[in-house]
Structure 1
Amino acid sequence: MTTTGEELVTARGGPWWWDRRRSAVLDVGLAVASAAECGLEGIPFAREAGVPVPVGVVFGLLAGSVLLVRRKWPIAVVLVAIAVTPAAMGFLVGLVGLYSLAASEVPRRIIGSLAGMQLVGVLVVMSVRMRQDIAKEDVGVGDWLVPFASITTALGMTAPPLLLGLYVGARRRLMESLRERADSLERELQLLAERAEERAEWARGEERTRIAREMHDVVAHRVSLMVVHAAALQAVARKDPEKAVRNAALVGDMGRQALTELREMLGVLRSGGDGERRERASVPLAAVGVAAAAAASRAVDEGEGPCLSEIEELVGQSAAAGMAVDLSVVGEARSCAREVESTAYRVVQEALTNVHKHAAGARTYVRLAYRVSEIAMQVENEPPPKAASSAGLPSGGNGLVGMKERVSALGGVFVSGPTEAGGFRVSAVIPAS
């Protein structure tokens, strides 16, 4: 389990400049050990320098305790280590200080300069002290021993902490970069999840609207004709029994057709939903909404939708319900894309339904034109007779909106509005491909 940068910042809670309490404890422990070392080394330094021993001990304690600030001011620690090198003290200060400097964010040229100064300082001091010790002891050694021992000691006290600090600093920067990248990826994934959820909700809303429109097209027209026939049946039931029987048969046929279309649509939607439910176990939640919307869309598209060859039958049903309607077809009839034919059929169907609802008894003209690259349709009704009574059919007020959405989705043009004569006209042009 990884820790991101935001969680790391939250977890920090050390005193002063320390990020964590354990870092403060470690630095305090190093400072105590270094102060003890330098304090002990201050005794021979005081004797050699001819100063009181307590002064040398205090000087050593102060020099060793500088490791307390090694994380905040690593350059100061290294400078102190270089300064106390001639006094033969600060072994731990030099090692830890150089490591802290190399692991910090200080520019490389400064790190190299201070490391070189410390290397030269240790080399010179070791060379001088070794020669003094050899002279005091009057020991005969080769000329190579002093340079070799001095260089080896200087490199041993400088190279390992420097290389280790550079490695730790590079690793720390890499980890911080990875944490920042993880934070960025986490934010991006969160944004993607939110957008996917929004898209899923939008797709569900769109498909609910589309399915509602399909249900409206299937039910509204059939039920409107059933209401008209039922009203006619009520009017002629006693005067003309034979006509009443015909109207009753028409009502039954309309009801059966409406039930058949509803059954087909619900059956296709149900089969699409079953497939979508089987996939839910392995699909993320945001994708389920999109999959459900896609399944609903496929269900509507794959259903047995109406086609333009059924326009004549559609007009005949309205004529049988008592509407004076004329159909004219211009151009050579041809098959088009299923979606285009279904939309054209639904536009004519909805327009005829609106005539039944709002202009009962009005003469209506249906025109269908097959053009080179498009199909045009127009449904226009004259003003209803003054003596005609309303059919009493409810209206949801979404018929024209639904027709316009259908036509616009296919790149067509839809226009509707009253005519100068007082009637109403619905026109649409849809690309044939």
Structure 2
Amino acid sequence: MTSTGEETAAERRGPLWWPRWRSAAFDWSLAAVSAVECAAEGVAFARDAGIPVAAGVVFGWLAGSVLVVRRQWPIAVVLVAIAITPAQMGFLMGLVGLYTLAASELPRRIIASLAGMQLMGTLIVTFVRVRQSMDSGRLTIGDWFIPFAALVMSLGLTAPPVLLGLYVGQRRRLMESLRERADSLERELQLLAERAEERAEWARGEERTRIAREMHDVVAHRVSLMVVHAAALQAVARKDPEKAVRNAALVGDMGRQALTELREMLGVLRSGGARERAAASVPLAAVGVAAAAAASRAVVEQHGEGPCLEELEELVGQSAAAGMVVDLSVEGEVRTYAGEIEQTAYRVVQEALTNVHKHAAGAKTHVRLAHRVAEIAMQVENEPPPEVGSAGSAGLPSGGNGLVGMKERVVALGGVFVSGPTEAGGFRVSAVIPSP
């Protein structure tokens, strides 16, 4: 794990402009050494200049102490070092000042200008000192030694600290850039993790909704027919025993069909849970919600869950057996559709018939199915019930989720769903599902 920019800034708690107390102590130590050096060199400078030695010592001490501000004002340190070069003072201050200047964020032209000034100052002073030494007889080497010594001395005191400072500054900027990138990547990873969690929560919610919708479609219609047949069985049990036996057989068939569909759905849910555990190592953000939905559809197709349009006549026949007057009309050329489309069309008709049993018992119902070029359309329309309140005779509850579930199914496939009362007092459910 990398530390963020805020944590790095929090660690910088040194005094004044220093990032840390350790840096401040190091600069004060350098300044003290430089002050001692300049003060010692001030003795010779005072004697050559003909001023009191104490003045030369104080001047050297003050000049050397400027090194303490090298991090905040490196230009000032280099300028002071250049100014005292003729007095042969501040060698340490010159080296450290040039290094700090080259390692700073200042423009390269400023660094080059000050380094050139320092180089020329050292070159001239060294040239003059070596010439004076040869004139006084202390050096008996040839004249070629004067420029050579001046050039070597000036380059030796200028080039190494500048080059080292440039290298350290570049490396420091590189490390800062890498740290910023690491911080940015960490923030992006956190954001991706949050988005992945949101997508996972959304996918779980969608899956819960889908399961609830399937359970509603499977159970509601079968149980509604069972309740209707049970009510009819109770009414004719004493008057017509043979009809009561037929109704009881129908109730048993309905119950077995409901149990069969529930077993199939539970089997799919169990196998889907095993697949989810096997794929738990795959990040949800990389797979995506679309891939998860595709995998869910693949599981459905593999286990053969859900009815098809071929069973539509049987569905209408069950409602007719329960006492509903219902007719089915099919238009266009019958063809096979994708499993998801056929299942949705079947569920829409099934739920619409269930609503007729609940809210308009005894009403005549028309079921229309149209096969078109690039779509399939279905419509379930019931006339007004013969007696107001007859829907409550069977005691069928309503959760109010049937129409919502139908619309969700149709819209998920890119279709259009419309429902509402008719002018005659009945109710109509229409849906159109595209089929490439």
The TM-score by the shorter chain falls in which range?
A: over 0.9
> Aligned to 2:401, which of 398, 403, 414?
398
SS of aligned partner of 2:84: helix
The residue number in structure 2 matching 1:364 is 365
Residue 23 in 1 paired to residue 23 in 2? yes
Distance 1:389 1:124, change over 3 A: closer
Unpaired stretches in structure 2, ≥5 consecutive residues? none
Q: CA deviation at 1:410?
A: 1.5
Cross-structure match for 1:188 = 188
Pairwise CA distance, 1:242: 1.3
CA displacement at 1:285 relative to structure 2: 7.9
Match of 2:7?
Answer: 7
Give the share of equivalent positions with the same residue, in percent.
Answer: 79
Q: 1:339-377 deviations in whole A, cap 9, x for unaligned?
A: 111111111000000000000111111111112222111
CA distance in 2, matches of 1:87, 1:138: 20
8 Å Cα contact 1:308-1:342 kept in structure 2: yes
* Alignment-derived partner of residue 421 in structure 1: 424
In the TM superposition, what whole-angstrom CA distance separates every residue of 1:159-211 from its partner, at most 9, and x where no partner exists?
Answer: 00000011111111111112222222222222111111111111111111111
Q: 1:357 to 1:319 in 2, by over 3 A?
A: same
Distance 1:56 1:384 in 2: 119
Q: Which amino acid aligns with 1:217?
A: D
Would you say 1:384 and 2:397 are equivalent positions?
no
The aligned residue for residue 154 of structure 1 is: 154
Q: Distance in 2 between matches of 1:199 and 1:110?
A: 54
**Matched residue, 1:211:** 211
| Of 237-246 and 220-229, the range deviating more from structure 2 | 237-246
Letter in 2 for 1:66: V
Pairing 1:352–2:353 present: yes
- Using the alignment, how far apart are the partners of 1:82 and 1:379 within structure 2? 98
Q: Give the match for residue 328 of structure 2.
A: 327
Letter matched to residue 163 of structure 1: L
Offset, 1:301: 4.9
| Amino acid corresponding to residue 351 of structure 1 in structure 2 | A
Alignment of 1:102-121 (within 5 A): 102-121=102-121
Corresponding residue for residue 200 of structure 1: 200
> Does structure 2 conserve the Cα–Cα contact (< 8 Å) formed by 1:204 and 1:289?
no
Matched residues in 2 for 1:353 and 1:257: separation?
A: 16
Looking at structure 1, the residues matched to 80 and 391 of structure 2 have their Cα atoms a distance apart, in angstroms, of 108
Check conservation: 1:376, 1:430, Cα contact below 8 A. Answer: yes
- One-letter amino acid matched to 2:334: A
TM-score by length of 2: 0.95
Cα 1:379–1:157, aligned 2, differ >3 Å: closer, same or farther? same
**Contact in 1 for aligned 2:2/2:182 (Cα 8 Å):** no
1:90 aligns with 2:93: no
Secondary structure of residue in 1 paired with 2:143: coil
RMSD between aligned alpha carbons? Answer: 1.9
Residue aligned with 1:137, SS: coil
Alignment of 1:230-269 (within 5 A): 230-269=230-269
- The match for 1:225 is 225
Question: How many residues of Structure 1 are paired with residues of Structure 2 in the alignment?
Answer: 432
| Distance of 2:139 and 2:181 partners within structure 1 | 63
Displacement of 1:22: 1.2
Match of 1:44 in 2: 44
The C-alpha deviation readout for 1:126-163, integer Å capped at 9, x for no partner, is 11111212222354221111111111010000000000
Moved more, 223-232 or 328-337: 328-337
Q: What amino acid sits opposite 2:174 in the alignment? A: L
Does the Cα contact within 8 Å between 1:82 and 1:117 map onto a contact in 2? yes
| Residue type at the aligned position of 1:59 | F
Match of 1:59 in 2: 59
For residue 342 of structure 2, what is the amino acid of its counterpart? E
**8 Å contact kept, 1:269–1:300:** no
1:383 to 1:2, Cα distance in 2 relative to 1, 3 A: closer
Alpha-carbon distance in structure 1 between the residues aligned to 2:106 and 2:412? 63
| Distance in 2 separating the partners of 1:285 and 1:426 | 37
Counterpart-to-counterpart distance in 2, 1:187 and 1:87: 56
Displacement of 1:288 in angstroms is 9.9
Q: Distance in 1 between matches of 2:227 and 2:212?
A: 21
Name the counterpart of 1:432.
435
Change (3 A) 1:115 1:289: closer
Is the contact made by 1:233 and 1:244 (CA closer than 8 Å) also made in structure 2? yes
Take 1:11 and 1:59, find their aligned partners in 2: how far apart are those partners?
Answer: 38
Instruction: Report if the CA contact (8 A) 2:415-2:431 is conserved.
Output: yes
Distance (whole Å) between structure 1 residues aligned to residue 210 and residue 163 of structure 2: 69
Distance 1:261 1:362 in 2: 28
Change (3 A) 1:374 1:274: same
